[in-house]
Chains A and B, each alone.
Chain A
Amino acid sequence: MAEQANGSTRSDIHVRFESVQKSYDGEILVVKDLNLDIAKGEFLTMLGPSGSGKTTCLMMLAGFEPATNGEIFLADRPINRVPPHKRGIGMVFQNYALFPHMSVEENLAFPLEVRKIPKGEIAAKVRRALEMVELPAFGRRRPAQLSGGQQQRVAVARALVFEPELVLMDEPLGALDKQLREQMQYEIKHIHENLGVTVVYVTHDQSEALTMSNRIAVFNDGVIQQLSTPGELYEEPLNSFVAQFIGENNRINGTVRGLENGICKVELDSGDLVEAIPINVAGAGENTMLSLRPERVEINPDPASLPNIIPGRVEELIYLGDHIRTRLTVAGHEDFIVKVPNKLGHQILQEGENATIGWATQDCRALDRP
């Protein structure tokens, strides 16, 4: 999917944000120069902390907020001046926004009625939509008589019943408990695969984003920090924000000393010299933050096996069954985490013990220091 999106021709692009800016009050830019292409049939997630501008982007796409500057295209058609009801975009709201005075069936029939579709056809479509979300017997109920998960399904069904090609979902699972959320993630994913609609999904739950999406746009401060597949996002973060935001990350601060052959030499604040892949550093003398995933670090490795080995001290051991979460002090950072797999013959460590940690150069990324 990612390759498709990157190398897509114009006609494959379903939604395009072109230099979009948004300010509510004329003083602060909530969205700063947004450029984003979304391919047909893609499941794109906007992920980011609270207040980073995700909902604002969605509202501009749905037509409820005008873009202050720039243009949004829907299948090559500029839509800045198209009112919301003519955009044909399905939308699932965080609070579902099911009409409380209408039954489930009436809710589902609403988008069809306003499109003046014949009665018989409406009934058939409503029935099919209810079957799709596995609620065929609930048509006569009011939204208030449904559980949270059932309401959520109805909201999804309503956003899909008029067969839009683009569906927006703004934290649709935010109000559900963990178990139900995981089940619904699966179901939404399933519906997306079956119908082939384009989905733009907003969440601030990273595991939700990682499991559901073709691509993820990580938002911070009104800017897309990185737009990648889930795998790339985790394995190859392009800056320190993404590295910190996605998954668990160890950071070590240091200064770049040399840069050659795609490898940079970094002097840690503790004086140790290590190697890393330069991602976001310009040259020698610059401050950097090294990013290391906890599962890519080894404790007390064979000195010959890894190029980077530095000393540390074990502070805390937490037994988690499949692995032992080990907290160490490394190069002045007290929160250095290593996941020691619980396999046959693994190291038995003691709290307070001195140890060495080591890593392969390609697992350590030199990023900007925030």
Chain B
Amino acid sequence: MADTTVPVTGGGLQTIDGVPLKKQLARATRQSKLRALMLVAPLGIFVLVSFIYPIVLTLTRSVHSPVFGAAFHRTAEALQSWDGKDLPSEPVWEAFVADMKEARANRTIGKAATRFNYDVPGTRSLFTRTARKIRKVKEGPYKEAVLEINKKWGDPQLWGYIKQNTAPYTAGFYLNALDRKYDYTGKIERQPEVRQIYVPLFWRTLLLSSLVMASCIILGFPVAYLLAHLPLRISNLLMILVLLPFWTSLLVRTTSWIALLQTQGVINDFLVWVGIISDQQRLQMMFNATGTVIAMTHILLPFMILPLYSVMKTIQPSYVRAARSLGATQWTAFWRVYVPQTLPGVGAGSILVFILAIGYYITPALVGGQSGQLISNLIAYHMQKSLNWGLAAALSTILLFGVLGLYWLYNRLVGVDNMKLG
């Protein structure tokens, strides 16, 4: 020992050759590190291209919106010196007319108008119609000419919004996603009551996901316990039943839930037939939040059962026996000795189910009706229908960081290294 490493006064050990031990160690392990890097390189590149890059793109798209600014670049420049109180001065109007003409010529007016319409609803046609007639405006005074075409341009607030929208980077999508917006002076204010939809939807998503997670724990725990403690032959059979949902198509499963739970479905028919409820009182269990929770619990249950099962499998019966021999009743032994040892499995299952649930899309779309829609359904709507990709990106980003935040919280409270997936 003493002759291979020599302690140095300044702290840190050295090898016999006088090289700091840390440095020598790094040198010695560099080769194997390099080899490891080579081995993960293909997967790394794949993840980079198919996962990291789209996320970066999403992040960018949620703040970057150059369409309007590009189409009205002259106006943007002219508006620099505008005080924002009265209507802009003549040079702005001149620039505006020039931009309009160009935008119409190269067909960017439609996109720019759509973009503007996100912030100031109902203005799309104002832009397109004005663009159609702007051809006739040959010379000044431009202000009067434009107002001639449509006197809505005489509203100073509108010009406030135009100035805002010419900036290529904006927090507008995020504000929108949080039910807020800029007013024409650039101050942040709440959306009017009727247009506040996203924040309640985020809360609902959290609530329904928590409900799904809770029902998965309640339903999954006993099943996992049985699986881990029944004789092998029976538990294998049970395991097949647990895994069965994995092997059937999501659509088939969801459709069968519809058949079971809808107002004219099997369960309601049965309840009416037995006489528990009358024909008028049929329960509404489908196409609402209840339907979403039921169907999603069923679909996500295996993600709770499997980690729980694998943790329970490793808990030796001697722990509970020891507790019993030490004087604990069956319940105390279960609650104070068995359950705490299953917590890593509960944690792993919960976080799996919760994260899957929070981004679930197909099932709520099929069985959720109005009240069972989750945030991802709205993201999909903005991706596919309204084509407001900036807003979709902002919503997705909030969702992503929400999940990361929850994961961080979980790590702080429970510790991810305590989590066991199997």
Contacts and interface: CB of A to CB of B under 8 A. Distances in A.
Interface of A: 62-64, 83-85, 87-91, 93-95, 97, 99-101, 110-111, 114-115, 158-159, 162, 168
Contact of A62 (B325, B327, B333): B325
B193 to A, nearest CB: 50
B343 to A, nearest CB: 8
Given A84-B321, A97-B316, A97-B319, A162 B327 contact: yes
Contact of B321 (A88, A97, A159, A162): A97
B326 to A, nearest CB: 4
Contacts of A111: 326-328
B384 interface: no
Interface of B: 316, 318-319, 321-330, 332-333, 336-337, 340-341, 343
A88 B327 contact: yes
A84 B325 contact: yes
Contacts of B319: 97, 99
A114 B318 contact: no
Contacts, number: 68
Contacts of B337: 99
Given A85-B325, A90-B325, A95-B318, A114 B332 contact: yes
A125 B336 CA distance: 21
Nearest to B315: A100
Contacts of B324: 63-64, 83-85
A99 B336 CA distance: 10
A146 to B, nearest CB: 16
Contact of B327 (A64, A95, A101, A115): A115
B334 to A, nearest CB: 12
Contact of B326 (A63, A83, A100, A158): A158
Nearest to A106: B336
Nearest to B328: A114
Of A64, A110, A162, the most chain B CB neighbours within 10 A belong to A110
A63 B325 CA distance: 8
Nearest to B343: A101
A342 to B, nearest CB: 40
A91 B325 contact: yes
A93 B326 contact: no
B381 to A, nearest CB: 46
A101 B341 contact: yes
A64 B321 CA distance: 7
B164 to A, nearest CB: 56
Contacts of B333: 85
